[in-house]
Amino acid sequence: MGNILRSTFFSFIFVLCVLATSARQHYHRAHSRQDIQFQKEVYLESRSKREVTTLTDYDSDSVFLPADAADDSPPSTADDLPTCLLCVCLTGSVYCEEVSPDMTNVPALPKETAYLYARYNKIKKITAKDFEDIVTLKRIDLTGNLISQIEDGAFSKLPLLEELSLAENHLVKLPIMPAKLISFNANHNHLKTKGVKANAFKKTNKLVNLYLAHNELEAVPHIPESVRILHLQNNNISSVSVDTFCKGNNTYYIRPNMNEIRMDGNPVNLAQYPDSFTCLKVLPIGRY
């Protein structure tokens, strides 16, 4: 009887040990899974809290700092701005894409911002004040907003700005360009020749990529010699001249950098202007 009891007891202890080991392994696995789930929840919760806390005052000019949001983020200059509660601010970069609630103005930016991504929002207007104090900006991407108005000086006073995208907006005229610009994208707007002054790009002598496709242009603006890629497809251009790309009074002139011109989707029949492309290394793409 004693033997049976003892062996039952030891079997019981053994089973307990096995159970405990497997439970521990299970716990570790489950725990790391829980960790991830938990972190995800905390992230989502803090995100939705940010969205809600900034909802009320987002559009006003005042700097609005919700009390609980201030509590859960360590103090730093970037986090003091409501922008960084709504957007993601990393050193030098601000990401405000498809912000909810609707973002209708350029948000206040942390000092020293170099890269701003504010795509697919509801921004309607760019004022001269929006970027006034952020002279460190190198790239601004405002693709997919509702911009129809840009005040003079909004971009032209940014000494380091190299890339600017205003694609997929409602522009009928171009802003004044900053001198250091390398890449400019205004595809898919309503640009008209009246709104693109012949000398709009005269001072941008570092410009390499110029995208003006899917607009309502009726003429090719002056193109700086530095440009390598020029997109003018799907406009309303019906003619070109010997001075459009080349120099009518100098048949020896070669345009050194240009290696892609798209003019497809325009009414112009390029075959009618054989003397207009003699300085180019590649013919424009389009109808011949």
Ligand X SMILES: *[C@@H]1O[C@H](CO)[C@@H](O)[C@H](O)[C@H]1NC(C)=O
Our finding on whether 216 is near ligand X (CB under 6 A) is yes
The three-state secondary structure class of 270 is: helix
Q: How many residues at the interface with ligand X, by CB under 6 A?
A: 6
The alpha carbon of 233 is separated from its chain's Cα centroid by a whole number of angstroms, namely 22
Q: Which of residues 246-265 bind ligand X (CB under 6 A)?
A: 249-250
- Is residue 33 within 8 Å of 64, Cβ to Cβ? no
- Kindly state the smallest distance separating residue 188's Cβ from ligand X, in Å: 15
Using the minimum distance from each CB to ligand X, give the nearer residue, 176 or 280.
280
Sheet arrangement for strand 93-95: 88-90, 93-95, 115-117, 139-141, 163-165, 183-185, 209-211, 229-231, 260-262
- Kindly state the smallest distance separating residue 236's Cβ from ligand X, in Å: 4
Residue 193's alpha-carbon distances to 102, 216, 247, 266, in angstroms, are: 32, 7, 21, 14
Our finding on whether 34 is near ligand X (CB under 6 A) is no
Number of Cβ atoms within 10 Å of the Cβ of 278: 15
Our finding on whether 238 is near ligand X (CB under 6 A) is yes
Using the minimum distance from each CB to ligand X, give the nearer residue, 91 or 249.
249
Our finding on whether 172 is near ligand X (CB under 6 A) is no
Using the minimum distance from each CB to ligand X, give the nearer residue, 37 or 251.
251
- Kindly state the smallest distance separating residue 265's Cβ from ligand X, in Å: 12
- Kindly state the smallest distance separating residue 119's Cβ from ligand X, in Å: 27
The H or E element that residue 139 is part of is strand 139-141
Question: Which residues, in sequence order, are CB contacts of 221 under 8 Å at separation 6+?
Answer: 193, 196, 197, 198, 200, 201, 212
- Kindly state the smallest distance separating residue 147's Cβ from ligand X, in Å: 20
Our finding on whether 218 is near ligand X (CB under 6 A) is yes
Our finding on whether 37 is near ligand X (CB under 6 A) is no
